[in-house]
Amino acid sequence: MSPEVVTARYTIDPTKSRFTVRAFATGLLSGLGHNPVIAARDFSGRIDFAPDALVESSLTLVVRADSLAVQNDVSDKDRREIERTMKDVVLQVEQFPEIIFESRQVSGMRMGENLYVAKIEGDLTLHGVTRRLTITAQVVPGEDAVRAYGEFLLKQTDFAIKLVSVVGGALKVKDELKFAFDIVARK
Given a cut of 60, whether residue 169 has pLDDT beyond it is no
Tens of pLDDT, residue by residue over 2-43, are: 567 789 999 999 999 999 999 887 744 344 456 788 999 999
Q: Specify the fold of 8-186.
A: Lipocalin (2.40.128)
pLDDT band at 72 (very low <50, low <70, confident <90, very high): confident
Summarize the confidence of residues 33-60 as an average pLDDT: 91
Pairing of strands 18-22, 37-40: antiparallel
Confidence at residue 167, expressed as pLDDT on a 0 to 100 scale: 41
Q: Using one digit for the tens of pLDDT, what is the confidence trace for 92-108?
A: 999 999 999 999 999 99
